[in-house]
Structure 1
């Protein structure tokens, strides 16, 4: 036997061991894929083109579906991260031509879509928070805090607090008619719909304000970024250089407008206007004497 033949026989066991290691490694990886479900076919990412549009209020944005596939929030889980209502598209079929109103609470908005075994970021939008009046970085409380505050006090008292929540739709409280008192630079991002009185003093509401109680009072440089709607018999008093970006609606109650800007229309019969002075009303910023009040029955907000 030559030295060369002996060397060949010495290589054979080494090659066999190497092949065995490779085979075991391949089997381990394959088993891992099977156990972890990684061999399942992933759902394809929806092919869509969305657009985020600012509105004149610099507070409410519109998310518009321009083209592509529908986003099926009925079959799949859909979340809008960075807005007041993250579940705005959940349970909805969002398709080309559709649009929704959103309120940013972060400088980045992401649309997340989840299939059966995968998830995607459909699109990311950047918001210039310097144009927003409600101080995104300072909003630290959400509906659980609002609910606790309301249950503890019997009403919602905010004094310089900043929260995001639809009141009372998204809270479970023991009080039937929740009175709401916002004072001292408070900010509430969300709609107010209550059976109690509402008093907004030196504060901001980012959403619509509706009540069927006795009074709505908005005063002292307060800002309402939405509509102010009184149920029949409810009175509205707005003064002190306050501003309403939407409509003001009174039906068989009374409305007083003193040193106030209302960017939308005022829906009230002339007999229900108990006072109006130093006000700019409607899209054309008309004075109390030149503005034509709208019929409350024509409000379709």
Structure 2
């Protein structure tokens, strides 16, 4: 119990940049990595993964974690039967992958690792789903890894999550969605899910496949959220999806234009860019259709 609480305190302290360096200088990273091997205490494993995730945000600390094969240890925590441990491990993988020297190759070196993390999209725990979507959005930046997770069925699983959220909202109403203990019950998951969809569009027919599986209309509904981070990731997803003409038609029919006209004036440059790009693609399609209509 004492060790669990101490590691939890370290994880909280490591949220501050100065303390990340202090943890590294004090030699605290090797003991944290060692706690991940062979432990059975779920709370201790969760806190150790959280602490390593915080430490991995500093490049020098990340080098030590890599030398100790700590990323592999964190990834192995995804196999544990405890949702809290799975969620903490998936969240810790985000800075680990971002700051690794050759993250794409490192991820591919974990035999069965990509299949494992994609499989966690079947979880019924919203914390696990949010963290896994965040990790997948980063993994998908590498095209080779995106090809692998596509082969493992990431597109239908992400589409299922988006559709499930839409079903809950239609049954329970937007005001109750935050209390429903289903697959999508908060904006944090919406944010990471939309970002995962956006990045997974960049391979093969994934963009059209999301549209075919019915992910467009429920994604448009995310723009009604009050969270600006959800607006940002959803606009990014819609921009990526709008590269397919059929998706543009669905977006327009789903009423996305008023939302995009509002967010295009945001102070967030990425939100502006995504909104403008999506509107541009929809407009190009409309102009092409109009030109074709009046051709002799």
Please indicate, yes or no, whether the TM-score normalized by the shorter chain is above 0.5.
Answer: no
Higher helix share: 2
Q: Which bracket does the TM-score occupy, shorter chain normalised?
A: 0.3 to 0.5
The alignment's TM-score, normalised by the length of structure 2, stands at 0.34
Q: Which has the higher contact order (CA 8 A, sep 6+)?
A: 2
Higher strand share: 1
